[in-house]
Structure 1
Amino acid sequence: MKLKLGLVAFAISLTTACVSGNSVDKDAQLLAKAKRIHNNAIVLDTHHDFSLADFSEEQNYTMRLRSQVNLPKMDEGGLDVSWLIVYTSQGELNEQGYARAHKQALAKFDAIHRLTSEIAPDKIELALNSDDVRRIVKSGKKVAMIGVENGYPIGTDVGNVKKFYDLGARYMSIAHNGHSQLSDSNTGEKDRIWLHNGLSPLGREVIAEMNKWGMMIDISHPSKQANMQMMHLSKAPVIASHSASRALYDHSRNLSDEELLALKKNGGVVQAVAFRSYIDGDKSKAFSEAKKAIYQKYADQVGFEIISWDERKLWPEQELQAYRKAFNGIRDIAKVDIDKAAASIEQVTVSDFVDHIDYMVKLIGIDHVGISSDFDGGGGVQGWNDASETFNVTLELVKRGYSEADINKLWSGNLLRVLDEVQAVAKEIQANN
């Protein structure tokens, strides 16, 4: 009897070893497949905010900075294309506010051009169309593209659309967090107060002007009513540069099924965003509150006052930079406690993020979904928390059975197809004028 048990145990151990070995082999094969797909793809992320402080000779994207995106981290994660964002916060709807925002926007355009033409022209180049993207990637350099987040700095001069286009902007949202002179914002849902009931008359002019010059219309921040109006008015496909599914998490920044289906009909693409509070706000809130308490504890110890973004958003850039530098010191001393909290609180993960991709692909098709992070603007999930971890998204997609062709579409094919179509429509409009 002991002999038989021994033989059974030996057989079980052999079987377990074989199963374990097969599992290891399968994991290794899957990893190798994902690496091959990732290395062959043009990996493009449509939304990266940035600080002007990181675009100087002394401190810039050639260095592995604190920022979630910079050239060393892009290299580590195999990220080829960074859409750098000319963002301006929402201010008063008057000439003084427009002038201030316009000046800030031009400073950000200038920083991007300085990076690509003076600081690191041998490492990163500005692309203006899909042919540029493919040429630059083939050369071995990284690619910079420009998006404008908030049409507020346009002011009341529609001619500024062409000015921004000539500076390299290839998409623009016409509102951010707060109603602009052009469009209502998604934030109006909070108090149900609307300024335009969608687009303003000036906003409609701007939509036509963007079509004319070949600038993609971004529906990520405006209100649902404005989005539906833009998709109806636009003669070219639109994009949502960084949005998730409202059916999976009910947040005003996410797109409803109705908006997604309209986007499919329009021929556009939604760039699913890895932003914790849009992916799973419940998980995100628990960790955010824990972090906030930890930061406050250490801020109190050193006499530092933590200021909310609403209070900081209109500060001059110099004051913002000084504040960020001081707050980074708080982050440093709080890191151990933050890491402990992260280990004990359930996190929003790459898997949660890809759930949104899955949902939108099933709803509107693989040709209408892409990928974005909103890095350095609040984005990032566990597993894809900066550009160095970009491969993990491809790995998760491979695990879920997406083909190489599908993954190529998600990473860049769909977005570049829309850019081509938008620019083709612009040529047609210009030819007929």
Structure 2
Amino acid sequence: MKIASMCAASILAFASIAVQAQTAEETAAAALEAAPVFDGHNDVPIQLRSRFDNQINTFSFEDTTATGETHPEGRTMHTDLQRLRTGKVGAQYWSVYVPAALDEPEAVVMTLEQIDVTKRLIERYPEDLQLALTADDVEIALAQGRIASLLGMEGGHSIGSSLAVIRQMYDLGARYMTLTHSRNTPWADAATDTPEHDGLTDFGRDVIREMNRIGMQVDLSHVSEKTMHDVLDVAQAPVIFSHSGARAINGHARNVPDSVLARLPENGGVVMVVGLPGFLSEEQRQWYAAREAEKKRLETLWQGQPGEVEAALAEWDEANESPVATISDMADHIDHIRDVAGVAHIGIGGDYDGMPTGPEGMEDVAGYPALFTELARRGYSQAELEMISMRNALRALREAEQYAASQRDSAPIETLIAAD
């Protein structure tokens, strides 16, 4: 009798777990049906350049799972129309990224080329993609069953230190700009470069004011902590972090510290949580640092003998397998941002096609439903999931537009960088 009772209890326990899992899946599915993912960052445009030289007249974006042969390491693209639909992506910021190592004039030209190729890609698929310039455009595209496609510039080097270029990029459709990439600009410090300006210069502050005036969103992914604070001191519209995590969970300089998260409620900004494994898993970050240290040690031991270094590093790799980042790691970042800033300040910014792979279980853009199912299991309501997937990002965009509308009678700022 006792054994039978124990068996019955076990069956009930397993049934309860199954019901909970199904309920989480249903909650996630309902949320993504009502508010599909508004993804803050996808690097397809630079893939079009590096793999196809921006020659896309015969390129098929329907299914890119056979594109491994176009990459030197055999990686297939993470994004195509089929997987965007599977991943419940309803709006996408396409990053018109160009390398930070370019001289500014060259970066401006290449950015124009990346805007061009992205617009051409959107135009080739009018049944699936629709260029969006406003929050209303996003909602119209969603209502018509299309993926709203917005343009974001990744790196302030793309404006050539010119406010006039910012205005022209906006007129061409760019709706956010990441202030730096991996290197400092002449007016703002990056997270991963030696500080030069102690945050923003006076010209950098004018960049923020002018972006706010015209309605271009200020993206603080890639900038230093001091730059983040300087921007928040100046900004009159919500900032975004188009693809960043929480530094308390993973200490990478690219992630957002609590000191900044605590200021987001006042500003209205949104951290669009990244999927890059090295920014998610602290164990993986520590592994990478240890590997870099070992590589430096071997290069010192075997100077001028790259073959010896390569062989010894391969042995180290075999003995020290890289930790795997998971969906749970990504959810941990979302939990932390909710705890510090609140659920109204969380979004999604995968960084697909800008990294080798996403976390285990969501290696490409098709994986977003798995993340939202995990969040539902952690107790997030459907309304909260809708905020994270779409509504927070859309609200921040709309508020940037509203501030710009209030400044319609304000004259353009004419400051030149030479004035610093």
Same fold (TM over 0.5): yes
C-alpha separation in 2, matches of 1:27 and 1:250:
32
- Shift of the alpha carbon at 1:420? 0.9
Q: 1:361 to 1:15 in 2, by over 3 A?
A: closer
- Once the two structures are superposed, residues 15-35 of structure 1 have per-residue CA deviations (whole angstroms, 9 ceiling, x without a partner) of 433433343333323322322
Determine the structure 2 residue equivalent to 1:100.
Answer: 106
Distance 1:15 1:69 in 2: 45
**1:256-267 maps to which residues of 2 (within 5 A)?**
256-267=257-268
Matching of residue 61 in structure 1 with residue 61 in structure 2: yes
Structure 1: distance between partners of 2:92 and 2:392: 16
Which residues in structure 2 correspond to 1:108-257 (within 5 Å)?
108-117=114-123, 119-188=124-193, 193-257=194-258
Deviation at 1:357, TM superposition (A): 0.7
Contact 1:175 1:182 in 2 (8 A): no
Q: 8 Å contact 1:49–1:376 — kept in the other structure? A: yes
How far apart, CA to CA, are the structure 2 residues paired with 1:222 and 1:369? 18
1:430 aligns with one of 404, 408, 415: 408
The AA in structure 2 aligned to 1:183 is A
Residues 1:75 and 2:72 are matched in the alignment: no
CA RMSD of aligned residues (A): 2.7
Higher helix share: 1
Paired residues of 2:190 and 2:223 also in contact (CA < 8 A): yes
For residues 303-362 of structure 1, give each alpha carbon's deviation from its aligned partner in whole angstroms, at most 9, with x where no partner exists. xx9xxxxxxxxxxxxxxxxxxxxxxxxxxxxxxxxxxx9xx8642111111111111111
Tell me the residue number matched to 2:367.
Answer: 389
Identity %: 29
8 Å CA contact 2:27–2:381 kept in 1: the answer is: no
Query: What secondary structure, in the 3-state scheme, does the structure 2 residue paired with 1:396 have?
Result: helix
Amino acid at match of 1:34: A
Partner residue of 2:297?
Answer: none
AA aligned opposite 2:266: K
Give the counterpart letter for 2:111 in structure 1: A
The answer to whether the 8 Å contact 2:37/2:348 transfers is no
Which residue matches 1:409?
A: 387
Selected match of 2:341 from 346, 364, 370 = 364
State the distance in 2 between where 1:286 and 1:235 align.
40
8 A Cα contact 1:49 1:377, kept in partner? yes
* 1:54-112 superposed Cα distances (whole Å, 9 cap, x missing partner): 661222422233211221111122111221101111236xxxx1221112111110111
Report whether the alignment pairs 1:21 with 2:15.
Answer: yes
31, 34, 57: which one aligns with 2:28: 34
Q: Could you tell me how far 1:185 is from its partner in structure 2? A: 0.8
Aligned residues: 373
Q: Give per-residue Cα distances to partners, 1:120-177, cap 9 Å, x unaligned.
A: 1121111111111111111111121111100102113211111111111111012110
Amino acid in structure 1 at the alignment position of 2:40: T
Q: Which runs of 5+ in 2 are unaligned?
A: 66-75, 292-305, 307-317, 412-420
TM-score relative to the length of structure 2: 0.82
Cα distance in 2, alignment partners of residues 76 and 43 from structure 1: 11
Structure 1 runs not aligned, ≥5 long: 1-6, 291-304, 306-340
Amino acid aligned to 1:367: A
Pairwise CA distance, 1:248: 1.8
Q: Deviations over 1:240-294 (max 9, x none)?
A: 111111122212111111111223222211112122111223235648999xxxx
8 Å Cα contact 1:174-1:182 kept in structure 2: no
Q: How does 1:1-20 map to 2 (within 5 A)?
A: 7-20=1-14
Contact 1:115 1:121 in 2 (8 A): no
1:91 counterpart residue number: 101
> CA separation of 1:8/1:289 partners in 2, compared to 1, >3 Å: closer, same or farther?
same
Is 2:270 aligned against 1:282? no
Structure-1-length-normalised TM-score: 0.80
Matched, 1:400 2:352: no
8 Å CA contact 1:152–1:182 kept in 2: the answer is no
The list of structure 1 runs, each at least 4 consecutive aligned residues, that deviate by more than 6 angstroms after superposition, is 287-290
Q: 1:157 & 1:25 partners in 2: Cα distance?
A: 57
The one-letter code sitting in structure 1 at the alignment partner of 2:62 is: T
| Conservation of the 8 A alpha-carbon contact between 2:31 and 2:383 | no
Q: Which amino acid aligns with 1:26?
A: Q
Deviation (angstroms), 1:12 = 3.7
Aligned-partner Cα distance in 2 for 1:15–1:181: 67
Question: For the structure 1 residues 265 and 411, does the alpha-carbon distance in structure 2 shift closer, same or farther, using more than 3 Å as the test?
Answer: same
One-letter identity of the residue aligned with 1:240: F
Q: Structure 1: how far apart are the matches of 2:19 and 2:379?
A: 17
Q: Secondary structure at the match of 1:82?
A: strand
Query: Is the contact between residue 177 and residue 185 of structure 1 (CA under 8 Å) also seen in structure 2?
Result: yes
State the secondary structure of the residue aligned to 2:192. helix
SS in 2 for 1:80: strand
SS of 2:226's equivalent in the other structure is helix
CA contact (8 A) 1:287 1:347 kept: no
